[in-house]
Structure 1
Amino acid sequence: MSFPKTWVDQMLLNWGDRLFHDPLRHVRAPRMSRGEPRRDVRRMREQLARTLRRTPEVMVKITNRASGAQGMGALRHHLRYISRNGKVELEDQDGMTVLGREALHDLTDAWRLGGWGIPEESRRREVFNVLLSMPPGTNRQAVRDAARAFAAEEFGDGRRYVFAAHDDEAHPHVHLSVQVRGPDGKRLNPRKQDLLRWRERFAHQLREHGVEANATARLARGETRRYPKQAVVHMVARGDALRYWRPEPDYAARVALWSAHSGALAAWRGIAHAMAGSESEADHSLAAAVSDFVQTMPVQHGNSSMERNARQEQQQHRKPAHAHEVRCADRHEGQRELFPDDPYTGVER
């Protein structure tokens, strides 16, 4: 018996909400039009299709640590770096370009003295340095244009910012520096959900500029590894040997990893069940695609080894008793060699 289409769509939204976060869909007016649910279902199906075909994922991360150096000294150093000492063009919030050392000096003076100003040294962040990146082969001009549109959408409240697009590495990427204080004095304080929204909006702008891009959580894709730190990326690019090693996760770590992914895997099962029971042949194909996608997740590769480690651990728990039996047998055999005519070789002497 097939499920009604309305039920399938409701289950798709129900389980899809646990995998994907749509900032535009969760902000609702008090009353919705009849077309809203249909648009929600269409967006969810588009998001599902992008994920199943493994559309390239955007990377958005804050690169300056809260515990690191702050203030104008740190900002000057960073602007020199992203502008390659004035050789790479910067673009500000008004679309004005900054090129050359003198123009870079004027920019830093404007940030130091203008608006709320930035002290030479500070105990807290005065600027957020954001990295926007895509995999190699992505159209570089589209990445730059999408970064410009993203910055205007997210920080276009009169807040000062500049960005630079770098073309000297395989990954097309943009460095964006945003002042923490806005024109009203309010400070940016991005949390995990804000970073997720930044990723989704950057991916949306890339799609608007003709680039296939996706922004999903690692758990939704069954990924078990994080992006490498920026310092590690630069070391690898220079060909330097990494000065640290990371041990393979033990059994307890693998169990914790599997538990962290259990919610996402349950959501994928719910979507596959709803699609398999649909009246639509296209939904049946989608259910098969979901099954294939889940089976090839990186977290699934660790599942078989986790079960193997569990069996090994159980054998290790039984090893002491087995070893005791072996020691006793060896001792008895030694007694037989010393006392071949003794009928009580099994007795402790």
Structure 2
Amino acid sequence: MGSLADDTIAGLLESPVKHKGNRAANRARARRIASRVPEVMVKITGNAKGADHVQSHLDYISRNGKLELEDERGDVIHGKDEVRALAKDWSQDQGKRRKNTRDTTNIIMSMPAGTEPRDVKDAVRAFAKRQFGQNHQYVMALHTDTDSPHVHLTVKSLGYDGRRLNVKKSDPQKWREAFAVELERRGVEAEATPRATRGVIKRGVSQVVHHIREKGQTPQVDQAKVREVLVDFRDQRAGQAPKPRHWEDRIKERQTYVRKAWLTAAKDMAQSRDPDDQELAKRIAAFVGSMPPMKTERHELQEEVARQLQRAQERQGREESKERDNQDER
């Protein structure tokens, strides 16, 4: 078989980390992705700023001392008093700081439902030791109160060397890949494929926004998006062209390329005499067919607002019809 499929797959799997595997490794990874092996999730949920905020966060992840915290030495912190003592200790050693200095970096690392929670915690422990253990204090807490077992990892920003943790844009993807490696070492199938490679357009929802929505409230960001959609509808009714959103065009272009590249690789492998290639070609074609629609959150909001407006118009039409019938009877 020619190298077209291999080159195409290599290009698709090249992440921001710029890690390239060999042909066999790339094919094995493509097979796992097409088979929808569980994807790891690593999300920076925020930062604690100031002593009160640090204490509040540690109270939250420990459920006010009911869940144990484990630090970088493997020591267990349990109970409200021990958690408060840890928060006080971290707050007394803040170094030089400005008003908005980030005293912690708060991370969630999780796997889909069905993963053994202990494996997730063990993998996070190994990851944290490799990534932060040389220079930073940290604590971790395993949560199993949702379908997806997850660990809250809180890293003290000020390092032993007096420098603060500087998280780069590419770091979360690097951490995802390192987390997946640690899971695989424990016999847990895991992948860390970038969203774009999986055909995913919508970004994840931040923890803050998620909590606000859970309370039945509308976050400011949602309100702003709805207002934007309503302005678009108003402009359309007035015969005005919608405002250009070049970033959406770039997303569509990227996703068109991703889908075409996967299908190109599948077509090339389907022509191979190797049964494994043919089987992988079928998996990839099915994988592309199951990719989510190329819609941003704004597009979904547009559709929802359109449905609400349509229902409102239909309701108004029924009320007007009923009123006319009543007038005719009189």
Query: Does the 8 Å CA contact 1:235/1:241 hold for their aligned counterparts?
Result: yes
Q: Specify which of 164, 188, 197 is matched with residue 211 of structure 1.
A: 188
Distance in 2 (CA, whole Å) between partners of 1:71 and 1:161 is 16
Alignment partner of 1:52 out of 24, 31, 34: 34
Alignment of 1:189-338 (within 5 A): 189-235=166-212, 240-242=216-218, 244=222, 246=225, 255-299=249-293
**Secondary structure at the residue paired with 1:272?**
helix
Give TM-score scaled by structure 1 length.
Answer: 0.70
Q: How many residues align?
A: 280
Gaps of at least 5 residues in structure 2 are: 233-241, 304-330
Residue 83 of structure 1: CA displacement?
1.0
**What is the CA-CA distance between 1:255 and the residue it aligns to?**
4.2
After superposition, the CA RMSD in angstroms is: 3.1
Q: State the distance in 1 between where 2:35 and 2:190 align.
A: 11
1:232-286 Cα distance to aligned partner (Å, 9 max, x none): 4334555x35454655798866644311313323432442244234442211221
Q: Which moved more, 1:224-233 or 1:12-21?
A: 12-21
Moved more, 46-55 or 103-112: 103-112
Tell me the amino acid that sits aligned with residue 70 of structure 2: E
Task: Give the alignment of 1:91-110 within 5 angstroms.
Answer: 91-110=70-89
SS of the aligned residue for 1:188 comes to: coil
CA distance in 2, matches of 1:121, 1:72: 13
Contact 2:16/2:173 (<8 A) preserved: no
Amino acid at match of 1:184: D
* Contact 2:202–2:295 (Cα < 8 Å) also in 1: no
List alignment gaps of at least 5 residues for structure 1: 27-38, 310-349
Aligned to 1:341: none
Superposed CA offset, 1:326-348 (max 9, x none): xxxxxxxxxxxxxxxxxxxxxxx
Q: Which residue identity does 1:262 align to in structure 2? A: T
| TM-superposed deviation, 1:194 | 1.1
Q: In the aligned structure 2, how far is the partner of 1:137 from the partner of 1:146?
A: 16
Query: What displacement does 1:186 show?
Result: 3.2
Counterpart selection for 1:71 from 50, 69, 79: 50
Q: Could you tell me the TM-score, scaled by structure 2's length?
A: 0.74
Structure 2 partner of 1:157: 134
SS at match of 1:177: strand
Residues 1:19 and 2:13 aligned together: yes
Q: Secondary structure at the match of 1:145?
A: helix
CA contact (8 A) 2:13 2:26 kept: no
Inter-partner Cα distance in structure 2 for 1:201 and 1:79: 25
2:319 is aligned to: none
| 2:17–2:170 Cα contact (<8 Å) kept | no
Greater CA drift, 225-234 or 86-95:
225-234
Alpha carbons 2:106, 2:155 under 8 Å: kept: yes
CA offsets 1:201-225 (integer angstroms, 9 cap, x no match): 1122222223222211111111122
Does the CA contact (< 8 Å) of 2:266 and 2:282 recur in 1?
yes
Contact 2:124–2:151 (Cα < 8 Å) also in 1: yes
Residues in 1 aligned to 2:95 and 2:144: alpha-carbon distance in whole angstroms: 30
2:65 corresponding residue in structure 1? 86
CA distance in 2, matches of 1:22, 1:209: 25
Mapped pair 1:62 → 2:62: no
The percent identity for this pair of structures is 35
Distance 1:192 1:120 in 2: 23
Distance 2:16 2:204 in 1: 22
Larger mean CA deviation between 94-103 and 248-257 belongs to 248-257
Greater C-alpha radius of gyration: 1
Q: Distance in 1 between matches of 2:250 and 2:7?
A: 28
Contact 1:133 1:173 in 2 (8 A): yes
Tell me the alpha carbon deviations over residues 260-315 of structure 1, each in whole angstroms, 9 at most, x when there is no partner: 3133234324422442344422112212222222222113689xx9xxx9xxxxxx
Distance 1:118 1:109, change over 3 A: farther
Residue 184 of structure 1: CA displacement? 2.2
